[in-house]
Structure formats: structure tokens, C-alpha cells
Amino acid sequence: MSLDLVDPTTTDIPADAAAMWLLPTPRGALHGFSSPEPGPSQRAVQALLCGQQAMPLASWRQEQDRSGRMLQQLQEKQWVQVLRRQVPAPDVRLGDFAQHVIAPLSGERRAVLASDSGFCLGHSGLDQELAETLSAAAADYSAFAARQARRGWAGAQRVAFHSDPDMLLPEWSFIPLWIDGSGYWLLLAGEPLLNNLAMVELVWSIRLAGARFAAPL
């Protein structure tokens, strides 16, 4: 995905913004889809990834930013980026999904996408058995995190596992995502490379794929 960005320090954006489009940053995609009960800023980010193309800024403002303050807030937190040109949604086939979308998010190019029920939806750089084991572990951790949240501690939402006693780099990182009411886990080996446009492509692809990524009943 190639982007023609407006200078992020620019604040002089016309009210109609007829020739501009919005897209989440990788950081914004993580924020927007990090909660099963999204708040206003998260819903505003989610709205940007619901179509086959990046959303026109004018349309988004009409739907999500009637007060005129939301865009400024999202830009200050580096959750959205303003584009000079329209960009299409990623055209990723299900069979290529793991290799082209989730693998670049791992420093070792070993990654798994799992449902929160423990079903392996895709993997790259590791065998099927390990991918299924990690998917089951993610489901177990999901239940643990939910229990802690009910007790009032929200700090268990995501986790990194280390085999090195120095704890310099994680062996695996477990990152939860909630997309259109469904829970997912992104499992990354080594250094997580989350500041990557592949993060935006991942969420966008899942939203457009819909039932293709749902675990079988």
C-alpha cells in the first residue's frame, strides 16, 4: 500500500476537504480495534475501514466529526493520516493472507492469526501444530484477561512471553483485536513490528472478508 500523505503537522485543512481522504495510522488501527466496547474515538477510527476505498475526509467529518474537534484529537494522538490521493482496500486472497499481511508484523516473520475461541485462522513461518498450540494458548489467555477485567484490573489485555531471563526481546507477543463484534488474537514471534502499514491492511482485510475469517461452528 502506497500513501500520498498530507504533512501531519499541517492544521490548515479546509472544512469541505473535497480532495482529501482519511486512513488510520498503524497506531490508530491498534487503538481503534483494541476494545470489545469501543469509545467515541475508537468508533471514529473504525468508520475509516468500512469500505472498498479510503474514506473521503468530508464524508467522515459529516458522519463522525460534526463538532469539528475529533479530527484534531485523532491527529494529535497520531491515530489518523490525511491523504492527497484515494487508496483502495487491500486485495488479499485468503490463501495469501498470512504470508502477505501478518508475517511482516513479526521481526522473525513468524505469526499466527487466531480467533478468541482458539481457532487458527492463518499462520506464517511455523508449522500447523505449533500454530494450533499457540491459538489454544491465546484462547486460554483471553479467558484469563476477561477474569481480571471483571475484577477491575484492565492491565492484562495484551502480553509478551520471554524465554530469555534478561527479558530483552519477547519470544511471543499476544495482541488482541475486536473487529465487528468478533475477537481475534495476533500472535507475533520476536520483535513485534506494529508500526507497519500491514497493521492497517490486517484490520481492513478482516472487516471486508467478514464471514471468511469466522471460526466454524
Contacts 24+ apart (CB under 8 A), 61-65: 61/15, 61/17
Q: Residue 217 pLDDT > 90, yes or no?
A: no
Most confident of 3-17, 92-106, 135-149: 135-149
pLDDT band at 21; cut points 50, 70, 90 = very high
Beta-carbon contacts of 166 under 8 Å, excluding residues fewer than 6 positions away, are: none
Q: What is the pLDDT of residue 4?
A: 60
- Could you tell me the three cell numbers for 55? 474514506
Res. 214: pLDDT tops 60: no
Percentage, residues of the chain above pLDDT 70:
86
The model carries a pTM of 0.86
Domains and CATH numbers, the chain: 21-83 (no CATH), 94-213 (3.30.450.30)
In 28-42, which positions are buried (b, 16+ CB within 10 angstroms) versus exposed (e)? bbbbbbbeeebeebb
Confidence at 215, pLDDT banded by 50, 70, 90: very low
Strand-pair category, 159-161 with 21-24:
unpaired
User: Do the Cβ atoms of 113 and 132 come closer than 8 Å?
Assistant: no
Contact 41, 24 (CB under 8 A): no
Locate 158 and state its grid cell. Answer: 495484551
